């Protein structure tokens, strides 16, 4: 393909056509096991259809029509005649990567760490044949990507708050973000780095493609009961 699918409908058609034509075993693979990976996949489907879990005021909106359409699309994707293999419901990141890396899947949803491994010709059948794009939009939504990463904070009752702050400042310095981009393909949180030659040289994946995914990124719901919320998603998102 010269360009990634522009919508979920196109993604489904292309993926289904490749499977039916025998060009690939699977159309799309993502993380469907009952853990945080499934939550991130669900959030991307929600964004694709214009839905969400909580609105800006903290009101629950996961039962509204947009979210129902997102869940219905996920369910149909793994049902008979779909384009996502049912085995994906037991997969995490590495099982997904291996299937894609071995040339068994046309599309994969995963994290930046996989890029360098996919481009290693000694172990990957798709080396130099891979590109990155945000998860495409569905009806009424937008391209979406769940924001990964970790947040740094200093406890109010820390025994060494100044030392803790020095660590935070060190880890969030541009030089350290460039180092992690080079070693682990982590995407920097500082937007100012995305126009620099330093990041282009450090990041093993194309910066413009990474920036498209960052621009489409959506954070997980901000709530003090995220563990309970996430646990509910793991138990009921796409139970067969």
- Matching CATH number, 8-147+219-236, of 3.40.190.10, 1.10.150.80, 1.20.1250.20, 2.40.50.100: 3.40.190.10
pLDDT, tens digit, for every residue of 8-51?
999 999 999 999 999 999 999 999 999 989 999 999 999 999 99
7 beta partners: 137
CATH 3.40.190.10-classified regions of the chain: 8-147+219-236
Strand-pair category, 145-146 with 217-218: parallel
Q: Which residues contact 72 (CB under 8 A, 6 or more apart)?
A: none
Q: What six digits make up the tokens of 239?
A: 């139970």
CA neighbours closer than 13 Å in the CB half-sphere of residue 157: 0
pTM value is: 0.87
Contact 39, 220 (CB under 8 A): yes
88-92, 150-154, 199-203, 236-240: segment of lowest average pLDDT: 236-240
For residue 135, report the phi and psi dihedrals to the nearest 5 degrees.
-60, 125
Q: What residue has token string 């947009």?
A: 66
* Structure confidence by residue, pLDDT tens digits, 158-198: 999 999 999 999 999 999 999 999 998 899 999 999 999 99
Q: Is the pLDDT of residue 233 over 70?
A: no
């Amino acid at each position: 393909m010269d360009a990634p699918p522009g919508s979920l409908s196109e993604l489904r058609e292309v993926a289904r056509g490749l499977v039916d034509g025998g060009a690939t075993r699977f159309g799309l693979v993502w993380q469907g096991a009952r853990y945080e990976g499934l939550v991130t996949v669900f959030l991307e489907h929600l964004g694709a259809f214009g839905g969400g879990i909580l609105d800006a005021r903290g009101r629950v909106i996961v039962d509204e029509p947009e979210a129902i359409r997102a869940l219905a699309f996920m369910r149909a994707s793994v049902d008979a005649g779909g384009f996502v293999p049912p085995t994906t419901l037991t997969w995490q990141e590495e099982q997904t990567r291996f299937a894609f890396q071995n040339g068994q899947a046309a599309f994969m949803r995963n994290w930046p760490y996989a890029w360098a491994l996919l481009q290693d010709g000694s172990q990957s059948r798709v080396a130099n044949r891979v590109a990155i794009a945000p998860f495409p939009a569905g009806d009424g939504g937008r391209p979406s990507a769940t924001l990964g990463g970790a947040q740094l904070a200093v406890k109010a009752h820390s025994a060494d708050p100044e030392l803790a702050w020095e660590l935070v400042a060190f880890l969030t310095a541009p030089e350290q973000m460039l180092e992690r981009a080079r070693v682990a393909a982590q995407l920097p949180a500082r937007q100012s780095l995305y126009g620099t030659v330093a990041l282009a040289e450090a990041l093993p994946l194309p910066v413009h493609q990474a920036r498209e995914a960052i621009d489409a990124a959506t954070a997980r719901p901000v709530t003090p009961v995220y563990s309970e919320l996430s646990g509910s998603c793991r138990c009921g998102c796409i139970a067969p």
